[in-house]
A = this chain, B = another copy of it.
Amino acid sequence: MTGATPAQRPAGRPRSQEADTAILTAALDLLIELGAAQTSIEQVARRAGVTRATVYRRFADKTELLVRALEWANHDHDPDFTGWRDLDHMFGDWAEHLADPRNRRLLRRLYGSVDDYPELITTYRSVNGGRRAALVREMLTRTRDLGLLPPDIDVDVVSELLSGAVLNHLGTHRDGESAETVKRYFMEIMRQLGHRPPVTRKR
């Protein structure tokens, strides 16, 4: 990726690309394990197997490092993805994401650092949120227009409400629930909002 080949690599010193990856991986892992406040450049350097100077050459400070780690971890989200088939499909996706304890913990860490490192949640939202939020609203609008949600539903309010439902799940449901159980949680919430899924015809 950087054009460096193994032959060009000085013995015992990771190539630039390797050091980048090691640093970003270590930063993301420590953010998830310890949270932003408890993570230090020192620890990141140690875990990545580089010197502190190597980290500081690339990142001005801890906040910049964590912001870049979040961007990096989300850099390869499929750009071809243009939305979900239906609500069932959408919440199936959400549930799979939320069934992974690592994802849950990262989201809690981001929320938990809102007062001290507001840049982190802002970054996460701008990387994940913008396009994704639009797709969620589109999905809700389509569902409503198909007559499966009350006609006067406000998709923006429902979107906020679903974000809250994610936070509530992360805070009050134990990690380790199956994706199926998590999905049921969301479908039950949609039912309260008047969602009536299309009747499947029996053969």
Contact = CB atoms under 8 A, between A and B. Distances in A.
Interface of A: 35, 37-38, 105, 108-109, 111-116, 121, 150, 153-154, 157-158, 160-161, 163-169, 171-172, 188-189, 191-194
Q: Is the interface of A mostly helix, strand, loop or mixed?
A: helix
Contact of A115 (B108, B165, B166, B193): B108
Contacts of A108: 111-112, 114-115
A163 B172 contact: yes
Nearest to A170: B114
B105 A115 contact: yes
A116 B166 CA distance: 20
A158 B161 CA distance: 11
Contacts of A194: 150, 194
A71 to B, nearest CB: 20
Contact of A113 (B112, B164, B168, B189): B112
Given A157-B188, A161-B189, A192-B161, A168 B171 contact: no
A189 B159 CA distance: 11
17 contacts: A35-B37, A37-B37, A37-B38, A105-B115, A108-B111, A108-B115, A109-B115, A112-B115, A157-B192, A161-B164, A161-B192, A164-B165, A164-B168, A164-B169, A192-B193, A193-B193, A194-B194
Contacts of A191: 154, 157
B171 A161 contact: no
